[in-house]
Chains A and B, each alone.
Chain A
Amino acid sequence: MKMDVDNKPGDAGVELTEAENELYDRQIRLWGLESQKRLRTANILISGLNGLGAEITKNIILSGVNLVKLHDEQLVSEADFCSQFLAPRESLGSNRAEASLTRARALNPMVDISADTEPLKEKTADFFRQFDVVVINGQSNEELLRIDGICRELGVRFYATDVWGMFGFYFASLQKHSYVEDTFKYKLISKPNEKQKFETVATPVQREVEYPAYSSWIDFDLNAATYQRKLKKDGPGIILLRVLQSFRSQHNRDPSYKTRDADIELLQKIRDELAPNSALSNDALGLLFAQISPAAAVVGGVVAQEVIKVVTKMEAPHRNLFLFNPETCMGYVESVGVN
């Protein structure tokens, strides 16, 4: 941890325009001018324009980044209407990224927004190097590993994320990330005879933290004895994530509302193999179909806020696995592969 603060004026020494100052007034009052300037130079990839993708896209575009690339090879389906508000009804059957363009652009005309419909599998380093942050949603672990590997070589920040029904997660692979945060101290301000009064003094401090690769999550052993106590405390979210990712790789799809009961049984089976006698209840397995709008909003809000933290180098991005519990509405962080 370095104690001196990087005061370099970001990548953007350029002043904001009056229009930008007006539009972004309420957020500049929160994160400051410097952050807003950094946002203005950021290029973001969002792959997977389902409901979660739409939520992330909305928040990132509103924040005032430079460029957002919407990537998707899939078509708008009935299930998307549970939460994908960027694709209009009449776009059913067309490409999801393209269908989202008009409404995405209307959110903030100052952001450069375009769509890409080529298969993700064909995308190589040349594609990913255009971006500061890459957010991938709805992919298999193999594909996530491949892209994370490319991003780590390029120095591009990588987020993997998903929402199933009301449950969701993200994984952050940021490599070495440095940021500034305030630390607080108390200073006695009263005179000796008076009642003690203190004021808090905030000091910005620069820190640097290492974020492990996505492979650390693949390698993570849920059943390790050392992890059991923590697992009991934090609930079964992490098991659920593993169950859902196993379902995806075994069946090459996600649980479907069209085969709801059968898929719940398949999920139960995977659960019982992966983590017998776990606290993961059957009820929880009934909340995993399509993407439910309020849950997509929570996870999409969290992911977008993390991307903003990364771009602005302000505050610590959570390290490194986030889980949202739809029953309690708790959101918590597991440190996976972190010493």
Chain B
Amino acid sequence: MAASIDGVLPATLQELVKKSKVLVVGAGGIGCEVLKNLVLSGFTQIEIIDLDTIDLSNLNRQFLFHREHVGKSKARVARESALSFNPDANITAYHDSVTSTDYGVNFFKKFDVVLSALDNRAARNHVNRMCLNADVPLIESGTSGYNGQVELIKRGLTQCYECTPKEKQRSFPGCTIRNTPSEPIHCIVWAKHLFNQLFGESVEDEDISPDSADPEAQNESVTAEAKAADGAGDVAMEDKENDKEQEKSTEAESEGEPKNNGNVVRINTRQWAKDCNYDAGKLFNKFFNEDINYLLRMSNLWKSRKAPVPVQWDTLLPDGTKAAEAPEFARQHHKVWTVEECAHVFANALKELSAAFLKLEGSDTLVWDKDDQPAMDFVAACANVRSHIFDIERKSRFEIKSMAGNIIPAIATTNAITAGISVMRAFSVLQSKWEQCKAVYARLRLNGRQQFLVADTFFPPPNPNCYVCASDPAITLRIDTKRIQVKAFRDDVLIKTLNMVNPDVTVEATGSIVISSEEGETECNEQKLLSEMNIVDGVILKCDDFFQSYELSIIISHFDAERDDVLFEVIADKSQLQPKQEEKPKEDSEEQSSTSRKRPANGSDIADDGPSTSKRTRLPEVEDDDDDCLVIEEDDDVQEIVNTKTEQLTVKSPPKVAIKRKPDNLTDDENITEILDSSDEEDVGPTKSKRTKLNDSQPNEVISID
């Protein structure tokens, strides 16, 4: 304990370490390391919070946890282990979410410095707002593979965490998932939806059956016929205005007569599967034969696309071939299974999952977990069969797990280095040596100055248009007001996208209350479309999240969403509102940036774990607990670093290519390294670093969160 031994630390630092109160948010890969460094340095007043429990795959780096701790609270076990390093420390552990209302601004005000070691953007955004409000310096850190990052966030001095736009999480229109997949990720998302339809919590926008409401399939007699013949129509039409469709589907439900042809009503998919006794052949044929045949009848879809080829259970697994109980290949996670093998795995996983499901009581459901073997097997098998049908490259279970679980690769060394720098920065913060607190990036390869732990040369100034730390924050919201209900506006836009916790919303001009934080007060509005509430183009909404002490004006800009559009988009700067002209200014500013070498180029986030918030199909939210970040670096002699804030990686789907806009000025010696994702380990080689030249940071860029 450096600070309790006189003479080890300089006297001023020694005193500060002894008397300071520190909050560590997150007890994962970085958090464990930070906690160790803190207690050994002699901090005695430490609080640590983490809502997670310990998983086996944590143990390769979260060294405060051992095998016997699996399943226990990270925060509590981390506390116990750290106390064994220094029994004199006082550590308070909270097994809880930092976004819980128990930890308000006054809680944050207790601390001299907050060290954040989180793994998801929502919590980072929240801690950012709390520290800004409480005016407590925040040391934000993250890692992804070989890349790490530590930065100070201090009100008035630095950018806040939300000053720079983050890359949106990729999300996919429902039509792509249900009707026209073209990439492995589409099939993986579909397979996860299928899991939920059968065993999980039924989510409205996770239908897996063909979508006959696909605009591209419209104006087509065959489709109309198909629809009529189908009877049940399509429940999953997002357009709830279509009451007749709704009625029809309700009828079908009450009759309990699932149609073999195409759209079985969503709720009934589950019941139907149960009624079939989870017969692998029947289920397989419905999802991979009948539904595909139904899709083929929407012939418009296949005019410019390769048509899918349905597969049949009997031909894959002819009669009498009983799926072996535990076939050898099912454990070969790095092998790409054949379609026949997938059918085997499907059958076995179905058996296990249905047994587990039937044991549940009442309305309990299974929760998909990438680390649950049958659940992961099921998704891998179904995704690959569907990929086969649509002539998409099949993937190994290992690769599918990366994509389905949004897994960020993580190693002990990067976490140790990053956490070490984080606590070194805490020393400087406590001594108010702000000039020594510039952001630091750890990476695999040297830059042109022979550095691989690289510090920014100055603090990038706060973004005057930041919708969090600007004095009077406002955003423009492009939104289809005719298709989004108040509830979805609250859940998807305000909570998931803008990271509010419990917002109140009023119309600025009239003062009428749209959403109240008091339970039940505005329930009657929830199912109404925004347009029905007279929230239309040009209306300004005042949003206030009391818990975060966060106020925001939202200027509504209506647009009619098309087939492949997401239903809303947040735009931080009004001047960016012309989406079609967006490309041009981007290129310009990139050119500027390549000439203005002194820019620290901090920003330009390209990763997100953040909840995607389309009303349509969204990617699974991050289920991983890893520390994460994404760092894009450009090395050159004058040290220009394009970096990104640390985030869970978005699932990027293969082909694993980074699209570069202007490669001309790049040579092989310029090290622009982007770790794109974790899924491409196996085939290309060891380091999955890809290069890409991203647009330089553009504070005013569209925050395209969809």
Contacts and interface: CB of A to CB of B under 8 A. Distances in A.
B229 to A, nearest CB: 41
A257 B687 contact: no
B411 A331 contact: no
B405 to A, nearest CB: 10
Contacts, number: 266
A62 B37 contact: no
Contacts of A26: 57, 60-61, 407-411, 626
Contacts of B427: 294
A318 B425 CA distance: 25
Contacts of A324: 453
Of A59, A287, A308, A314, chain B has the most CB atoms within 10 Å of the CB of A59
A184 B660 CA distance: 13
Interface residues on B, range: 35 or more
Contacts of B407: 25-26, 29
B190 interface: no
B452 A333 contact: yes
Contact of B453 (A81, A184, A294, A329): A329
A93 B357 CA distance: 58
B614 interface: no
Interface of B: 1-2, 5-10, 33, 36-37, 40-42, 56-57, 59-61, 63, 66-67, 84-87, 145-146, 150, 331, 333-334, 398, 402, 407-417, 419-425, 427, 436, 438, 440, 442, 444-446, 449-455, 583, 626, 655, 657-663, 666, 668, 678-679, 681-682, 684-692
Given A82-B1, A182-B689, A293-B40, A29 B413 contact: no
29 contacts: A25-B407, A26-B57, A27-B60, A29-B407, A29-B678, A31-B681, A31-B687, A32-B685, A59-B413, A62-B63, A62-B412, A79-B8, A82-B41, A108-B59, A184-B668, A184-B690, A186-B666, A186-B691, A197-B661, A200-B657, A200-B692, A202-B688, A258-B7, A260-B7, A293-B2, A294-B422, A294-B424, A297-B36, A297-B423
Of B146, B334, B424, B446, chain A has the most CB atoms within 10 Å of the CB of B424
A257 B424 contact: no
Nearest to A300: B416
Nearest to B332: A15
A162 interface: no
A236 to B, nearest CB: 16
Interface of A: 18, 21-35, 51, 55, 58-59, 62-64, 78-79, 81-83, 85, 88-89, 106-109, 165-166, 180-186, 189, 195-200, 202, 204, 233-234, 256-258, 260, 286-287, 289-290, 292-298, 300-302, 304-305, 308, 312, 314-316, 318, 324, 326-335
Contact of B334 (A30, A33, A260): A33
Contacts of B450: 234, 332-335
A177 B495 CA distance: 53
Nearest to A32: B686
A185 B67 CA distance: 43
A200 B658 contact: yes
B37 to A, nearest CB: 4
B115 to A, nearest CB: 11
A60 to B, nearest CB: 9
Contacts of B658: 199-200
Contacts of A88: 84
A109 B67 CA distance: 9
Given A26-B407, A62-B63, A257-B7, A298 B686 contact: no
Given A183-B668, A200-B657, A59 B452 contact: no
B203 to A, nearest CB: 27
Contact of A82 (B40, B57, B453, B455): B40
Contact of B413 (A22, A25, A28, A305): A305
Contacts of A292: 2, 8-9, 41
Given A31-B686, A109-B67, A293-B36, 10 more contacts: A26-B409, A29-B398, A31-B687, A32-B681, A81-B86, A82-B40, A198-B659, A256-B7, A297-B417, A324-B453
A293 B462 CA distance: 32
A139 B67 CA distance: 35
